[in-house]
Amino acid sequence: MKILIAHNRYQHRGGEDVMVEAETELLRSHGHELLIHERHNDDLASMPKMEAALQTFWSSNTVSDIQRECLAFAPDVIHVHNTFPLISPSLYWIASKLRIPVVQTLHNFRLVCPQAMLLRDGRICEDCVGKLPWRGVVHRCYRDSAAQSAVVAGMLIAHGAIGTWDDKVTRYIALNEFCRERFVRGGLPPERLRIKPNFVQAQRVPDWERRRGGLFVGRLSFEKGLEVLIRASELNANPSVQVIGDGPLKEKVLAAFGARYLGYQSADRVQALLHKALYLVAPSTCYETFGLAALEAFSCGTAVIASRHGGLGELVTDGVTGLLVKPGDAVDLAEKLAWADAHPDDMMRMGQAARLEYEKKYSSARNYRLLMEIYQEAIASLRQTGGTKGSSTQSTLQNRIG
């Protein structure tokens, strides 16, 4: 199978970029021929604001580039991760014109929320889900800018009106049932939505001896629950959590955790520390679409103490693979952290259960099987509607372009 992968990279590399790289490598390891179409948000720094706004709606560069790449490469399927803002939804239209199936992974809530996290003023907000997103403009949800929020909301409304989301994407991938339900409520066609979770590659078999303490791993930002974790650590007489990461709350974290703030660490170092920890703490105040750090903990045989909502609330089974806490409740979190430190044997048993859950549901082998099923279903679906028959050829694509 020949796959064109499209992704608009972020200025600050995060979990979405990590998953795109991991999935790309997974496909390569199984012998697929890939072509990567990328834009990077660093390009925005040298771009006039009006041009950037227009590209968010429609990119003529994307149309010409994707058409040229498809003619030369003849992909069987186009797998899209992020089009915002520079690739734009114009990609879906040129793929439809060429009769090439499109699979879109929904890494965040952008299609139902201009801010993409269902979060406003530090609280969960679903005001725009299933409605016209004008509230996102009023509340300046995207980058605290009415103008930029209007661009995002306008793009969502315009492409909803012309049928982009209903007609031009062959299959959507939601990361779990929680996310799928939000997208269906937001108006995406349920018959085109499939569930495929994220995955990580386990580095080694865990050792559950001599484990102690906890880790936080991730961006040091409000939505990740850092301020809740800081308050919980102040309430806990013997806090044992170490913090790994960087972000806008770095100075607050450093003041609160001192030597237990380890700063940014390499992926290999994070893995090594997870293999020594009793638990990972993930106190996100936002709805995580999945929670990649929590899945990494599972692969290391490490239990997870997480917020009882969003993708984390679906990933972690309370009392089995970890502990769930009330989102934003520092007292509840402090109590659960103290209990975990006082009951290491129970936490290690939960870690063992987490590893079994990883092997059953979140391994790279299972993820690859699910991805192939979705690709094949997308290709078959387009054939049934009179689209591509078998692998696209250059001559066929030339006819379609003409």
Q: Are residues 18 and 126 in the same domain?
A: yes
Q: Are residues 42 and 168 in the same domain?
A: yes
Distance CA 346, CA 106 (A): 35
The three-class DSSP label of residue 196 is coil
Within a domain: 204: no
Dihedrals φ, ψ of 132, to 5°? -65, 135
Within a domain: 208: no
Q: pLDDT per residue over 300-349, tens digit each?
A: 999 999 999 999 999 999 999 999 999 999 999 999 999 999 999 999 99
Within a domain: 155: yes
171-174 sheet: strands from edge to edge: 33-40, 2-9, 77-82, 102-105, 171-174, 193-195
Q: Are residues 128 and 224 in the same domain?
A: no
| Bridge partners, 306 (sequence order) | 282, 324
The rounded mean pLDDT for the chain is 93
Looking at residue 389, what is its pLDDT? 42
Q: Are residues 35 and 183 in the same domain?
A: yes
Looking at residue 104, what is its pLDDT? 98
Q: pLDDT per residue over 220-246, tens digit each?
A: 999 999 999 999 999 987 779 999 999
Q: For residue 401, name the pLDDT band (cuts at 50, 70, 90).
A: very low
Return the beta strands (E) in 218-339 as ranges. 241-244, 261-263, 279-282, 303-307, 322-325
Within a domain: 350: yes
**Cis-peptide into 89, omega within 30 deg:** no
Q: Are residues 96 and 122 in the same domain?
A: yes
Q: Which of 9-23, 264-278, 306-320 is least confident?
A: 9-23
Within a domain: 205: no
The total domain count for the chain is 2
279-282 sheet: strands from edge to edge: 261-263, 241-244, 214-217, 279-282, 303-307, 322-325
Q: Which of 249-263, 278-292, 374-388 is least confident?
A: 374-388
Q: Are residues 258 and 124 in the same domain?
A: no
Dihedrals φ, ψ of 216, to 5°? -110, 130
DSSP line for 273-292: HHTT-SEEEE--SS--SS-H
Q: Are residues 184 and 235 in the same domain?
A: no
* Global pTM value: 0.92
Q: pLDDT per residue over 389-400, tens digit each?
A: 444 444 454 454
% pLDDT > 90, the chain = 87
Q: pLDDT per residue over 374-386, tens digit each?
A: 999 999 998 877 6
Looking at residue 386, what is its pLDDT? 67
Q: pLDDT per residue over 51-106, tens digit each?
A: 999 999 999 999 999 999 999 999 999 999 999 999 999 999 999 999 999 999 99
Length of the chain: 402
Query: Is residue 361 within 8 Å of residue 310, measured between CB atoms?
Result: no
Apex 335 CA angle, 334 and 340, nearest 5: 100
Q: pLDDT per residue over 346-369, tens digit each?
A: 999 999 999 999 999 999 999 999
Q: Are residues 118 and 171 in the same domain?
A: yes
Across residues 177-199, what is the average pLDDT? 97
Q: Are residues 246 and 355 in the same domain?
A: yes
Distance CA 80, CA 269 (A): 31
Higher-scoring residue by pLDDT: 387, 284: 284
Q: Are residues 81 and 142 in the same domain?
A: yes
Within a domain: 207: no
Within a domain: 209: no
Sign for the pseudo-dihedral over CA of 233, 261, 305, 173: positive
Looking at residue 390, what is its pLDDT? 44
Domain span at residue 355 reads 214-361
% pLDDT > 70, the chain = 96
Q: pLDDT per residue over 114-127, tens digit each?
A: 999 999 998 999 99
58 φψ region: left (φ > 0), alpha (ψ -120 to 50), beta (else): beta
Within a domain: 23: yes
Distance CA 120, CA 380 (A): 40
Q: Are residues 6 and 155 in the same domain?
A: yes
User: What's the CATH code of the domain at 145?
Assistant: 3.40.50.2000
Q: Are residues 150 and 48 in the same domain?
A: yes
